[in-house]
Structures are given as C-alpha cells and as structure tokens.
Amino acid sequence: VLERICKEEWQRIPKSRMNIGNQCCVFLSIFLCISICLGEDYDLDDKTGLGRSFDGIGGLSGGGATSRLLVNYAEPYRSQILDYLFKVCFLHLEGYEWWLMKEAKKRNPNITLIGLPWAFPGWVGNGENWPYSFPDITASYVVSWILGAKQYHDLDIDYVGIWNERSFNSKYIKLLRYTLDKSGLERVKIIASDNLWEPISSVVIADKELQDAVEILGVHYPGTNTVPEALKTGKKLWSSEDYSTFNDNVGGGCWARILNQNYVNGKMTATISWNLVSSYYEDLPFERDGLMTAKEPWSGNYVVESPIWITAHTTQFTEPGWTYLQTVGHFTHGGSYVALTDERGNLTIITETMTHDHSVCIRPPLPSYDVTAQNVTFHLKGTFASISELQVWHSKFDFKTNKTVLFQNIKVWLSVTEGSFSIELDVDEVYTFTTVRNGQRGSYPDPPPSAPFPKSYKDDFDVSGNPYFSEAPNFADQTGVFEYFTNQTDPGPHVSTLRQVVTQRPVTWVADADQTISVIGDYQWQDLMVSCDIYMESVHTGGVFIAVRVNKGGGVVRSTRGVFLWVYADGTYKVTNDLNGMTVLAEGMSGTRARVWYTLTLTVKGNYASADLDGYPLWKNAVLWEPRHGWAAMGTSSFELAQFDNFAIEALA
C-alpha cells in the first residue's frame, strides 16, 4: 500500500516540472508518506475496566549457590551491591538465603520472600530419591523451615513452592496446605508447580480441593506464552523462573522483551529471574546469568549489568498491587507496550522495541519476527485524560557503535496535548513514560578493577565471635556442605576447622556426585601446589581428598576430571584422574587412619604430579595429560563427617 501511494504521489507531478527542486519535494512527500504510514495510534483507557494486578519482578538466589561469593565481599562494596539489588531507589527483588533475605528486608521491608526446594535432606525420602513417598514428612520439613525462618531470623516467608522443575503430587500439595494452616501459617501461599503449564492447570481445574490449595500457577521459561487451561483456572499466573541468559546487552534485551510480553502475551503478573546476581565462579555452568555480576570478592570488583537498569524501567515507577490496563499490546511494527496504574491517578507506560537477534533468551527458542522504527501516538482516556505531562526514562541498545544508553532521564517533561502524545520509537529501545516523579539512577563510585584470584592463598578457618555466615570465603560447595566447626576434642592447633557435615545423600534435583566437593580459585590455573590438614571421622570407611585442575561443577559435577589425591581410614591412598575414582594414576599404602590429623600436599607441574603425606613422598611423577587447567578442591569420598584445616595454595604457573 505504501509503495502504491508513493508512486501515485510521484506520478501527479508533470514531467516538465521535474527539476531538481521538485524532485526534492517529491522525495520529501515520499518521506512524509512513509512517516505517516508507519505512525499508529494506541488508546490507554481504564473506563472499560482494568487488567490483572501486578505482583512484581524478582530474582532467584539459589539453584546452584548463585550468590555464594557475595557474602565474602569487603565493605563498602558488599553494601553497594546489595543496594543495587534491593534498595527502593534501585530495584525490588527476591532472595532466600538467610543473610541475603535479611539484607534485602533492610533495604526494602515490603519485599516478597519465596522458598522453593531444589533438593531435600536424605531423611525426607527415607532412603528413596523421591519426596512424595512420605508426604507428611516432606510437608513437616517444609513447614519447619518456614517456622524456623521466623523463629531464628525474624523472616516471614510469603510463598512456598513444591519441587523445582520436577513432578508435583496432588496429595502432597493438599497435605502441605493442611500442615501450613494447622501451624498457623494460613498467610503462606502455595505456588505450583514451577515447571510447565501442564498438567498442573488441567489437574487444578478438575480437583476443587487442589484448586483451593494452590494460590499461584508458576511456570518456568514460558516463552511469554500461556495455555487456555491456565487462564481458565482463574489463578494468578507467574513466570516463576525466567531469563537464565548471559547478562550482556543481548541479555538485557531478552529481559526487556519478556518483562513486557510475559503480561501482553501470557497475562503473567510476576517475572522472576534465575538468577539474582552472578556471584559464582564464571567457569561454572551458566556463567554470568545474573541480573548483575559480583564474582570477585578478593578484588572488590563488580559490574552493574544492563538487566539491572532494564528492571528499573518498571520497578521504580510501579509497585506490587498496581494494576495493568486492559489496553496493552503489541505495536503494529514490532515491540510491545504495557501500562499500569495505582488507581489513584498515577500512570506508568513501558515500551520496548527489541529486535529478534538482540533479545534472544537462552530458552525457549524465539520465533523470527520483525521490528522497525515507528511513530506512535498514545491517547490517554478515562481517568488519564486530564494528565498534562509525563516524565520520560530511556534506554537504547546500540549494537553498532557501542554507545548504549541505559536508564537515562530525559530531563524535559513530555507534554500531553488534549490527552495525546506522540513519540518516535527506534529499534532496540525501552521507554518509561510516567506520572511518578521519584525515579533515580542510583550510582556509586567505580569499584576496584578486576583482578585474578590470588596466586598465593591461605585459610586456617579461625573465626572470632559468631559469624553470620558459616562457609569459608571463596569455597564453592558443589555437593555436600562445608561449614566452620569448633573441634572441642582437639585442645591443640585444630580447634577451628572446616567440616563437611552432610552424612546422607540428599533427595537430589540433578545427578549429583556420590562424593562431596568444594572448589576454589582460578579455573585457568595449570601448575599448582595445594596443601591441607585433614581429619577423617568415619572409622575404617572414611576417605578425603585434595585436588587440582578440577574442570567441572554444578549440574555436571558428577563427571568432573582433575588430579585427586585420596587417603582412606583403611590405610591406603590413590591418585585418580576423576572425581568418581575410576581412572587411577597411582595407589598404595599410606598408613592413614581415622581420628588422626595428617597433612596432604599435592603438586602438579606440566604432565607430572606428585604428593606428600606429612612431608614424606607418597609418589612422584605420575603422568597425566588432561585436564590442562582447573580449580583447586577438597572433599570426601562419601557423605561423611570430615575436617579440614590450614588450607594453602601456591600457583606455580
């Protein structure tokens, strides 16, 4: 149509008059024609009713100890990071480790707290890797956790889930609701099932008792879409885990698109990012998938990534409890818009025009679509017809010249004339138009520069007082739990130690290793010497290790390779090329036994490895070829009690 109109405009001009000046006029006419044709009108109106209530934007701290390194930052950098995540003038987000929840509440007392089990203690399954065989035990455990949050940490948990991305059980959900109510926790609501829309939606429709038990239908990675059955339930719909994308500007574009379109397409009123903050070693799976990055407590460096400021486009100008207008949707030429009101005269409009290639999330696949620059006109009607001016906040992702602008306040108020205003929207932009006046692009001085993990590192695990965290700095537990411990049976140099405390394999979410392991250091380390004092507590069956060049963690830790030095309470040792101990490089008698302290030293240079026990060589020059680099680590041969002390690293290359 555009081409036909423009040709007609050209043909109206007589050939004899087609001089240069007239050609310019013709081209101007064509340009105006294009501008007019790409201009569209959109009504924002509340007189026909409102949409769903907005429940907020959140972040998950968990599912892999994703905030593990954050607590070890020195001040003032730790508080600065927490402010970016939680302060009202920055963002509203969620977290659920005790310390992190307390810090979030300090900064935003109205924050919502959610608990979602990924795994369960082994005793919950009574020997089975399944939490529903004894649903009364599982429900009692979850409710005890919620009661403990209040009793020991003064934290009120608002919602609780079932089992992350695994099967749900209707009987268990009903029993959990009953147990919560019986314990005086009627206010705690249930989210189900933190997986797919189906079968939970259909089962809720068919089962009145289940329908009464479930407050929220939560789904993971919905691709901004829902299903008819979910809408038929009448329940609130949440994208209870989303994003999970590398936090560069494409990741910011992904976040911008789904924050709008989860409601426009799927009527989802909350979107929760996995994860909250990328505060874990970057070479673990899903590196830098947080809304910001804080992975160097040893240097103090952190990075406020683009998703933080994209979130601010919504959270600084709305609150949970605001309501979406029914008049939201897609722009004709690509992108989307939402509008929310506090029903007291305030209005906030958020637009996004993210192109396909600049907003791809890690999952699910994103079908192709087109976005072009366009002129849009919003007509404010109903309650909003009298609005005369709006504040404007703007982000522009520039993928060509790297001149990206994030969350910039356009200082001049936007005039609304007779209830309407127009704006030219380029591609890859986010705008907020709002009557709310207290927006702020909070900032701090630049943090220290990035630096690698120290090549020389020691920890004697001696802590004074009662620390508010129990893990030693920079150790990242992949399986098992390593905690500070006061060893009252040892009056000598090993009073304060680090102890592995999980003694039964959990009801797992993924195929965790049969061994426990905690990693530390620089993944690029090649030649390395590690020493550690070790103490086995299990007579005859105990076993511990120290390791270098450990090359995997997270959900694939079971297949970790490296150089592992093991000693056992039965008086033997071995050196393996893998965590599960199948590839043996050396083995023999060590004379070790339980309840005696020993010092292990493991050295790797090039293709050769050697080890000492209490300063005496166990073996020399075992040959290895892979892996070529990786973390240092320590752990146990099973889920058992064992202690570690005086851990030291010297990176040789």
361, 421, 434 from 414: Cα distances, Å: 33, 8, 10
Between CA 583 and CA 73 the distance in angstroms is 38
* pLDDT grade for 32, boundaries at 50, 70 and 90: very low
Question: How far is it, in rounded angstroms, from Cα 599 to Cα 611?
Answer: 11
| 1/616: higher pLDDT | 616
Confidence bin at 374 (pLDDT 50/70/90): very high
Give the number of other Cβ atoms within 10 Å of residue 588's Cβ: 10
| pLDDT value for 94 | 67
Checking if the pLDDT of 35 tops 60, the result is no
User: Does pLDDT of 398 surpass 90?
Assistant: yes
Whether 454 shows a pLDDT value over 60: the answer reads yes
> For the chain, what's the residue count?
653
Q: What is the phi-psi region of residue 496: left when phi exceeds 0, alpha when psi lies from -120 to 50, beta otherwise?
A: beta
Is 80 exceeded by the pLDDT of residue 194? Answer: yes
Instruction: Give bridge partners of residue 243 from the DSSP assignment.
Output: 274
Residue 218: its H or E element: strand 216-220
Mean pLDDT (whole number) for 549-556: 95
The pLDDT value given to residue 95? 53
Q: What average pLDDT score do residues 56-82 get?
A: 94
Which H or E run contains 277? strand 277-278
> Which residue, among 86, 95, 68, has the nearest Cα to 157 in the 3D structure?
95
Mean pLDDT score, 196-225: 98
pLDDT mean across residues, the chain: 92
* CA 544 – CA 575 distance, rounded (Å): 12
- The CA-atom distances, in angstroms, between 263 and each of 192, 357, 388, 425, 648 are 19, 21, 27, 21, 51
Alpha-carbon distance of 630 to 548, in angstroms, equals 7
Indicate if the pLDDT at residue 494 is higher than 60: yes
Q: Could you tell me the two tokens for 294?
A: 């804080």
Compute the distance between CA of residue 502 and CA of residue 639 in angstroms, rounded to an integer. 6
Distances (CA, A) of 65 to 162, 389, 479, 511: 19, 45, 11, 16
| Cβ–Cβ < 8 Å for 235, 192 | no
- Which stretch of DSSP H or E encloses residue 203? helix 200-206
Q: Is a pLDDT exceeding 70 seen at residue 527?
A: yes
Q: Give residue 653's pLDDT.
A: 72
Q: 115 phi and psi, to 5 degrees?
A: -115, 130
Q: List the catalytic residues.
A: 165, 241
Q: What mean pLDDT is predicted for residues 135-148?
A: 98
Backbone angles phi, psi at 306, to 5 degrees: -60, -35
- 71: its two tokens: 């607590």
Nearest to 302 by CA among 484, 504, 477, 78: 78
Cα distance between residue 215 and residue 230, in whole Å: 12
Which DSSP category does 294 fall into? E
Residue pair 488/509 in contact (Cβ under 8 Å)? The answer is no
Cα separation, 420 vs 438, whole angstroms: 23
pTM of the model: 0.92
Are residues 190 and 173 in contact, defined by beta-carbon separation less than 8 angstroms? yes
The predicted structure's pLDDT at residue 444: 95
Cα–Cα distances in angstroms (integers) from residue 522 to residues 266, 281, 283, 552, 577, in the given order: 42, 8, 9, 13, 19
Per-residue confidence (pLDDT) for residue 88, from 0 to 100: 60
Residue 518 has pLDDT above 60, yes or no: yes
Q: Is the pLDDT at 96 greater than 70, yes or no?
A: no
In the structure, what pLDDT confidence band is assigned to residue 23 with cuts at 50, 70 and 90?
Answer: very low
**Considering all CA atoms of the chain, what is the largest pairwise distance in Å, rounded to the nearest integer?**
108
Q: What is the pLDDT of residue 38?
A: 56
Per-residue model confidence as pLDDT tens digits over 277-316: 999 999 999 999 999 999 999 999 999 999 999 999 999 9
Cβ-Cβ contacts under 8 Å for 184 (sequence gap 6 or more): none
**Torsional sign, CA 105, 110, 111, 114:** positive
pLDDT at 470: 87
pLDDT band at 19 (very low <50, low <70, confident <90, very high): very low
Sheet arrangement for strand 216-220: 56-60, 270-274, 236-243, 216-220, 189-195, 159-160, 114-115
d(CA 152, CA 141) in angstroms, rounded, equals 16
Contact yes or no for 371/355 (Cβ under 8 A)? yes
CB atoms within 10 A of CB 311: 27
Residue 421 contacts residue 415 (beta carbons within 8 Å): yes
- In the chain the domains, ranked by start, together with CATH numbers, are 50-434 (3.20.20.80), 456-651 (2.60.120.560)
Indicate if the pLDDT at residue 571 is higher than 70: yes
Contact 313, 430 (CB under 8 A): yes
- Say if residues 152 and 183 touch (Cβ distance below 8 Å): no
Better-predicted residue by pLDDT, 648 or 34 = 648
Residues 222, 240: contact at Cβ < 8 Å?
no
Cis peptide upstream of residue 627 (ω within 30 degrees of 0): yes
* pLDDT at 80 (0 to 100): 97
| Confidence at residue 3, expressed as pLDDT on a 0 to 100 scale | 44
What are the strands of the beta sheet with 39-44, ordered from one edge? Answer: 39-44, 374-380, 420-425
Q: Is the pLDDT of residue 18 over 90?
A: no
| pLDDT over 70 at 29, yes or no | no
Beta carbons of 191 and 240 less than 8 angstroms apart = yes
Residue 412 has pLDDT above 90, yes or no: no
* Rounded Cα–Cα distance for residues 518 and 473 (Å): 11
Per the CB < 8 A criterion, the answer to whether 104 and 91 are in contact is no
**390: β partners:** 414
Q: Evaluate if residue 519 carries a pLDDT over 80.
A: yes
Average pLDDT over residues 579-598: 95
The answer to whether the beta carbons of residues 595 and 539 sit under 8 Å apart is: yes
Tell me what percent of the residues of the chain surpass a pLDDT of 90. 86
